[in-house]
Amino acid sequence: MRIEIYFLLVFVYLLIVGTAEAATLTVGENGQANYTMIQEAINNANDGDTILVYNGTFSENVIVNRSVSIKSNSGNPDDTIVQAANSKEHIFNVTKDNVTISGFKITGAGDFVESPVAGIYLEGVSKNIISNNKLSQNVVGIDLQSSHNNMLENNTAYDNERGISLTNSNSNNLINNDAFNNRFGIYFWGSKNNIMSDNNASLNEENGIWIEDGSNNNTLSNNMISNSDSGIHLTESSSNNTIESNNVTSSLVGIQIIDSNNNTVKDNFLTNNSRTGVSIMRDSSNNTVKNNFLSNNSENIVTEDSNNQIYNNEIKESEIHNADTSQVPFTDPLLTVIIIFGTFAFMRKK
């Protein structure tokens, strides 16, 4: 009987603990909240709690080692600023799963020492949500290292070395982010099965979107890329990626594929690129380029390997080099004869 009562009491205790409501901890200046530092609130939080940060400027390097939601009270990054107390360390260093960081301006992790430092840094974690933040003057705005199944949404990364960077990070969603005035807008290294949709990666110094070193099976769709050296650049055995319905304009090269195979480039708009719309170079084969609209590029499609499939593209005002013959403009044989005889008659008359 005593044993039964004991287990009943344990069950009731676990039920009470399991159904306890998550707490909300507040952070603010001048004694208006529970804590004056974000790190203090995290240290006193439990998994599942929310940390609400009031308007102000907070000079910190924060270690997020609880599964908590950290949000600005206003939802406006411009009035809730977290700047690096130490420019050689990450500002938000996330070491737990199920973390949310939303509504902050995050700036000042700008000193590259032994490795890049970031405004928001995730390593070996998953199921985190990074949303509605502005990240500037960091080596990397948002940096994922070996982190999977995270959501990056509605962030703005500008004036960084790299706006958003994924290294060996798989199955993440990058939705509706802006990356501009960085050296690299969005950078993938060895990262697979990610979805990148409705982002704007424009006005970056080198590349809007750079994908390299075995970054495979990624889907890039409905992104806007402009005013970079390469709009979208795939290299070093980055294969089986799908690049579709993007708008790539006013760069040197719209989409460039180097040393990469089996990628699909379809339904994109490639216009006003000063060198090439689509360029496929150096040991790149079995890539498919179809149903794209290309206009006002110096050269629209250039490929070094005849084993790429290029067809059903709408071409305006330029030419194709070494492409599939289905894309070469068709000439009526009768018209050709008329032109030849007309030219001959004109020369005899002279």
10-residue mean pLDDT profile of the chain (350 residues): values are: 51 48 93 94 98 97 98 98 98 98 98 90 98 98 98 98 98 98 98 98 97 98 97 97 98 98 98 97 96 96 94 80 41 36 38
Q: Answer yes or no: are the C-beta atoms of 47 and 66 closer than 8 Å.
A: yes
Which pTM value belongs to this model?
0.87
At residue 175, the 3 state secondary structure works out as: strand
Q: Starting at the edge strand that comes first in sequence, how are the strands of the sheet with 56-59 ordered? A: 56-59, 80-83, 105-107, 134-136, 156-158, 178-180, 200-202, 224-226, 247-249, 269-271, 293-295, 314-316
d(CA 223, CA 211): 15
In this prediction, residue 326 carries a pLDDT of 36
The first and second tokens of residue 290, run together, are: 């179809």
CA distances from 204 to 111, 226, 232, 316, 329 (A): 20, 8, 11, 27, 35
Measured at the CA of 197, the angle between CA 193 and CA 198, to 5 degrees, comes to 170
Residues 123-149 have pLDDT tens digits of 999 999 999 999 999 999 999 999 999
Structure tokens at 19: 């159904």
Name the percent of the chain lying above pLDDT 90. 81
Residue type, 15: L
- Indicate left, alpha or beta for 216 from its phi (over 0: left) and psi (-120 to 50: alpha): beta
Locus of tokens 């969603």 = 173
pLDDT of amino acid 305? 85
By CB atoms closer than 10 A (0-12, 13-18, 19+), residue 14 is exposed
Beta strands in 181-336 (DSSP E): 184-189, 195-197, 200-202, 207-212, 219-221, 224-226, 230-234, 242-244, 247-249, 253-258, 264-266, 269-271, 276-281, 288-290, 293-295, 299-303, 309-311, 314-316, 320-321
Contact 103, 76 (CB under 8 A): yes
Alpha carbon distance 278, 268 (integer Å): 10
CA distances in angstroms from 169 to 101, 114, 119, 192, 287, listed in the order given: 19, 21, 18, 7, 24
Q: Please state, in angstroms and rounded to a whole number, the distance separating the CA atoms of residues 142 and 175.
A: 14
In terms of Cα–Cα distance, which of 292, 291, 320 is closest to 306? Answer: 320
Distance, in Å, from the CA atom of 291 to the CA atom of 310, rounded to the nearest integer, reads 9
| Encoded tokens for 312 | 């059903």
pLDDT score of 3:
54
Q: How far apart are CA 76 and CA 133, in angstroms?
A: 8
One-letter amino acid for residue 126 of the chain: S
Give the type of residue at 200: N
Query: For 13-34, how does the pLDDT look when each residue is reduced to its tens digit (9 = 90+)?
Result: 544 444 458 999 999 988 889 9
